[in-house]
Each structure stands twice: as structure tokens, then as C-alpha cells.
């Protein structure tokens, strides 16, 4: 295939996968580069999705497999974009494939190595609440289903190598560098989480029963570290009172980011409803600033939480969370403006909803691609009004959360949109050449 009809997609989350599939399904050759060992992005970590309550892995896993099977898509996982030269229609991208220390062709994903590996480390997929081995797949539905050795934690005992019937373990594997010729590039690198530890008044990192929402999401998931049971990390007890705190680090000029992450009010509502499904006796409070109900079906979803699940929405952001060191119980202090008094409430678990922020790595990526960042670190649209996916570099497009806060459907829409722009630009160039 001609290089101009090839596309490099950077980021294998829902946006990157959708852009890849749209282009591949119409005949473009796609190279999908993903930094981590598996594609799938953030959606694989979620239990359910709002407001439809679809099981997240159930709707995203088929997409991951579709990417794997599509003959027009080449998956480059555990790989990084290092250098780009050229211009629209003829970019050359240098990719660095990090060593998995596993021969991908040989590994069958049988898992015998993982069973025998003696090293246990905190599992990133479960936000550190679960464990994995030093030779691991990030999740059971990993695509591709190829193991990776985490050399930082590996003891090099060689057990995996001994046990592997496929002879796939290669301790001497080196990073590989290679070049790709592509016509266009789509960037879909998503977000990372604001470090809730920096808001020390909430005690995250100090108090065991203060969690961040993605940890709680893993706890809700039947495939998560607690098998879908909601428990207090301090004593394993089922909580009777849970409070969510919104806007941890978001909409804040001091010690945070100024923007709204667009998804927290709704996922907190979702998690609240799920709590009531798991533990009907549990009381749930959501402390919020402005309830963001702007999307399709959102207000009805909040009404369902209020009316059917008795979730209490409190318009106040607590100033402080205090722990009773004996019991692990937590007290939230907040200002009740209607009575102009400071009130407190005692709960078993606090779930913080941290800001979803642009990846710190965007800076390096932007400099590799020659892209501009906005003042908050998002990749910048050339014209946010009428050309939201175009950047200052012709032929390079952005979509999903790296372009600005948004939820899953909006990321999917943008991914298709960026794919359309990539196809359009190539068609226009071909038209000009023909003239």
C-alpha cells in the first residue's frame, strides 16, 4: 500500500481504537502505537458505564479483538513514538519497541510462567489494590495476549524460562527501533489522574479508607481485587456510609487545575447507584459544587440515583477529612451555607473524584510532533470552533481526552471525526496531484 494511505495512530484507548477501526475498515493501513503492553486504555478498568450501565469490559473487549483481527491494523504495543519527520502525505515515524523479554511470536499466553513466578507486585490495572507477578499480562482480556517481564521487579530466577513450553522467554531482548512511512497521524493519548495526595486535607495516602474513584471502580468490578465486594481497606468491613467528594483538584486555581473534567459528576452517580445495588443498606452522599448533567440522559440518571437509590447530593465541598485512628472511621467537615454553620458527617469510606488531567508526557509528544499545547497542557486544536481535530501541523490530528475533557461517547465521536479528516486530507492531496 502507498505510504500516504497509511495512518499512524498514537494511543490505544477507546479513541485510538475507534479511529483505527474506522480507517482500517475502509481500506487504510493503520499502525496503532500503544505505550503499555495491551490496548484498551481506561475503559478496561471501568466496571459499568454511565448512563446506560453497560458492562465496560463487555463492550470494549470486542473492539480490542476487532483491532487485533483487522488485517489492515498492525498493533505496536509496548512501543513509543520517538521521532517524526516529513509532512502531510509523507511522514516518517521512528518507533521504539520496548523489550517485553518475551518472544511475541512464540508466546501463547498460556499463563504457566505467571503461575510459577515468585515475585508479587502491586497491579497497575487494579490501581495497586491487587497483585500481579513480575511476568504478567495487565488484564485477562489483554490484546495482544502476550506476557511481559517487568525487569525492575524481576529476580531473574529463570523459573519462567524453565517452565515456558513455547520457549518464549528471552532475557537478552533489546529495544528495537524502526521507521514507518505514513501519510497522516492521529494522536489519542487520553488522560492521567491528578495526584489526590497533594490535597492533603482529604487524607488520601494517609487514611486507608480514603480511596480515589478509579480504585473504587476496581473494587466494584466483579473481576477486581475484591471480587466485586465493597469493603473498607482498614478492616475488611462492609461500609454503611460512603461519601464522594467531587472536584478534587479540578475547577481550582490553587493547587489544582482550572477546568472541569466533565465526567466525575456522572461516574460518581453511577458508582452511587452501583453501591446501592451491591449493598442496599449503605447510605451514599455526593458532595459537589455544580452538578454537571449536560449530556444525553444525564439528568434522568441523577434523578434515578436520588429517587430510586436515595443518594444524597450535598452542595458543599468538604474542607477536611479526619480519621479516627482507632476505628478508621472518617469525619468530613463542610460548610452548610443555608444555615451558615460548619457541619460534620461521619462515614466509613470516602471516595475522592480527582481531576482528569492531560498527560505530562504530552509535552514530549508535542515536541516530537511539532504540536502546540494549550495553557492547561491539552493538545491544541487549530480552530476549536470549526476544525476541532486539526492541529497547527497539517496532516496531524487529535481526538479524545488529549484534546480536552470529554466522556466516552464524545471521544468515540471525535475519533471517527479525526479519521474522517485524515481521509479527507489525503483525498484532497491526491486530487491536487491528479490535476
Partner 1 sequence: MGQVKGEEALRIGVFICHCGINIGGVVNVPHVVEYARTLPNVFYAEDSLYTCSSEGLSKIRENIKKYDLNRVIVASCTPRTHEPLFRATCEEIGLNKYLFEMANIREHCSWAHMHEPEKATDKAKDIVRMAVAKARLLKPQEEPEIEVTPSALVVGGGISGMTASLCLADQGFKVYIVEKERELGGRLNQLYKLYPTLVKASEGLNKITEAVKANRNIEVWTSTVLKQIKGFIGNFEVTVQKGNGETANFAIGTIIVATGADVLEPVGMYGYGKYDNVITQLNLEQLLKDGKLEKPERVVMIQCVGSREEKGRTYCSRICCMTALKNAILMKDMYPDTDIYILFRDLQTYGGHYEDYRRMAQDRGVKFIKYDLEKPPEVVPGLDGRLAVNVCHALLREQIDMDSDLVVLSTPLVQREDARDVSRMLKVPLGPDGFFLEAHVKLRPVDFATDGIYVCGTAHSPKDTSESVSQAFGVASRAAIPMAVKRLRSEAITALVDEDLCTGCGTCVKICPYGAIVKDERGVARVIEVVCKGCGTCGASCPEKAITMRHFTDEQVVAQALAAVGRN
130: contact with partner 1 by CB under 8 A: no
161-220: which residues touch partner 1 (CB under 8 A)?
none
Among positions 99, 114, 144, 328, the unique one binding partner 1 when judged by CB under 8 A: 144
- Ranges within 335-394 binding partner 1 (CB under 8 A): 337-340, 374, 376, 378, 383-389
Work out how close the CB of 330 gets to partner 1 at its nearest, in angstroms, rounded to a whole number: 25
Q: Which residues contact 427 (CB under 8 A, 6 or more apart)?
A: none
CB of 146 to partner 1, least distance (A): 9
The answer to the question of residue 227 lying near partner 1 (CB under 8 A) is yes
Secondary structure element (H or E) that encloses residue 32, with its range: strand 29-33
* Contact status, residue 251 vs residue 289, Cβ threshold 8 Å: yes
Give the residues across from 110 on adjacent strands: none
Q: Is 44 in the site for partner 1 (CB under 8 A)?
A: no
Among 2, 201, 300, 372, binds partner 1 (CB under 8 A): 300
CB distance 16 to 195 below 8 Å: no
Only one of the segments 84-92, 208-216, 299-307, 320-328 lies at the binding site for partner 1 (rule: CB under 8 A); that segment is: 299-307
Q: Looking at 94, 116, 276, 292, which residue binds partner 1 (CB under 8 A)? A: 292
Q: Measured between alpha carbons, how far is 77 from 240 in angstroms, rounded to an integer?
A: 42
What is the secondary structure of 74-128 as a DSSP string?
Answer: EEE-SEEEEEEEEETTEEEEEEEEPP-SB-TTT-----HHHHH---EEE-TTTTT
DSSP for 128-149, please give it. TSSEEESEE-SSTT-SS---EE
Q: Should residue 259 be labelled a site residue for partner 1 when binding is judged by CB under 8 A?
A: yes
For residue 105, give every residue at least 6 positions away whose Cβ sits within 8 Å of its Cβ, in sequence order, or none: none
324 counts as binding partner 1 under rule CB under 8 A = no
110-129 positions binding partner 1, by CB under 8 A: 110
Would you count residue 16 as binding partner 1 (CB under 8 A)?
Answer: no
Ranges within 51-80 binding partner 1 (CB under 8 A): 51-52, 54, 58-63, 65-66, 68-69
What is the DSSP track for 251-303?
S-SSSS-SS--SSHHHHHHHHHHHHHHH-TT-EEEEEESS----STTHHHHHH
- Which one of residues 71, 152, 296, 326 is an interface residue with partner 1 (CB under 8 A)? 296
Residue 6 binds to partner 1 (criterion: CB under 8 A): no
**Could you tell me which stretch among 102-110, 158-166, 210-218, 345-353 binds partner 1 (CB under 8 A)?**
102-110
Minimum CB distance to partner 1, residue 179 (Å):
27
Q: Is there binding between residue 428 and partner 1 (CB under 8 A)? A: yes
What are φ and ψ of residue 211, in 5° steps? Answer: -115, 160
Return the number of other C-beta atoms located less than 10 Å from residue 25's C-beta.
14
Q: What is the contact mask toward partner 1 in residues 260 to 289, using x (rule: CB under 8 A)?
A: x-x---------------------------
Nearer to partner 1, 94 or 306 (CB): 306
435 near partner 1 (CB under 8 A): no
Measured from the CB atom, the residue of 60 and 160 that comes closer to partner 1 is 60
Classify burial at 405, counting beta carbons within 10 Å of its beta carbon; exposed 0-12, middle 13-18, buried 19 or more: buried
Q: How far apart are the C-alpha atoms of 234 and 324, rounded to whole Å? A: 12
| Site size for partner 1 (CB under 8 A) | 86
Other CB atoms within 10 Å distance of the CB of residue 141: 18
Task: Write down how long the chain is.
Answer: 435
Among 118, 175, 205, 297, binds partner 1 (CB under 8 A): 297
Q: For partner 1, which residue of 26, 162, 206, 343 counts as binding (CB under 8 A)?
A: 26
* Sole window of 137-145, 161-169, 209-217, 235-243 interacting with partner 1 (rule: CB under 8 A): 137-145
Amino acid at each position: 500500500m502507498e505510504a500516504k494511505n497509511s495512518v499512524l495512530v498514537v494511543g490505544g484507548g477507546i479513541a485510538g481504537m475507534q479511529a483505527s477501526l474506522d480507517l482500517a475498515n475502509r481500506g487504510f493501513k493503520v499502525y496503532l502505537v500503544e505505550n503499555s503492553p495491551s490496548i484498551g486504555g481506561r475503559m478496561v478498568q471501568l466496571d459499568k458505564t454511565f448512563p446506560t450501565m453497560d458492562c465496560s469490559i463487555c463492550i470494549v473487549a470486542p473492539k480490542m479483538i476487532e483491532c487485533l483481527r483487522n488485517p489492515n491494523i498492525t498493533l505496536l504495543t509496548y512501543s513509543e513514538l520517538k521521532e517524526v519527520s516529513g509532512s502531510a502525505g509523507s511522514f516518517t515515524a521512528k518507533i521504539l519497541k520496548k523489550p517485553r523479554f518475551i518472544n511475541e511470536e512464540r508466546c501463547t499466553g498460556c499463563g504457566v510462567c505467571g503461575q510459577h513466578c515468585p515475585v508479587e507486585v502491586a497491579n497497575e490495572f487494579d490501581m495497586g489494590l491487587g497483585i500481579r507477578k513480575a511476568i504478567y499480562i495487565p488484564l485477562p482480556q489483554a490484546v495482544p495476549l502476550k506476557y511481559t517481564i517487568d525487569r525492575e521487579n524481576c529476580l531473574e530466577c529463570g523459573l519462567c524460562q524453565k517452565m515456558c513450553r513455547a520457549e518464549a522467554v528471552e532475557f537478552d531482548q533489546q529495544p528495537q527501533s524502526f521507521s514507518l512511512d505514513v501519510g497522516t497521524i492521529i494522536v489519542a493519548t487520553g488522560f492521567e489522574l491528578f495526584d489526590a495526595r497533594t490535597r492533603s486535607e482529604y487524607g488520601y495516602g494517609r487514611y486507608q479508607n480514603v480511596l480515589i474513584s478509579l480504585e473504587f471502580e476496581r473494587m466494584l468490578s466483579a473481576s477486581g481485587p475484591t471480587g466485586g465486594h465493597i469493603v473498607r481497606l482498614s478492616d475488611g468491613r462492609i461500609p454503611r456510609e460512603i461519601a464522594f467528594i467531587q472536584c478534587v483538584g479540578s475547577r481550582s486555581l490553587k493547587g489544582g487545575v482550572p477546568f472541569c473534567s466533565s465526567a466525575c459528576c456522572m461516574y460518581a452517580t453511577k458508582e452511587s447507584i452501583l453501591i446501592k445495588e451491591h449493598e442496599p443498606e449503605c447510605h451514599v452522599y455526593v458532595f459537589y459544587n455544580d452538578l454537571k448533567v449536560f449530556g444525553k440522559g444525564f439528568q434522568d440518571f441523577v434523578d434515578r440515583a436520588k429517587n430510586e437509590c436515595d443518594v444524597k447530593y450535598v452542595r458543599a465541598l468538604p474542607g477536611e477529612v479526619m480519621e479516627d485512628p482507632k476505628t478508621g472511621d472518617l469525619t468530613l467537615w463542610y460548610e452548610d451555607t443555608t444555615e451558615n454553620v460548619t457541619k460534620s458527617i461521619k462515614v466509613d469510606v470516602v471516595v475522592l473524584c480527582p481531576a482528569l488531567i492531560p498527560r505530562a508526557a504530552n509535552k514530549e509528544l508535542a515536541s516530537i510532533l511539532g504540536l502546540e499545547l494549550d495553557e492547561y497542557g491539552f493538545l491544541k486544536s487549530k480552530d476549536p470552533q470549526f476544525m476541532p481535530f486539526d492541529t497547527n501541523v497539517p496532516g496531524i490530528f487529535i481526538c479524545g481526552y488529549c484534546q480536552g475533557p470529554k466522556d466516552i461517547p464524545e471521544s468515540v465521536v471525535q475519533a471517527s471525526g479525526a479519521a474522517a479528516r485524515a481521509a479527507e486530507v489525503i483525498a484532497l492531496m491526491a486530487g491536487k496531484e491528479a490535476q
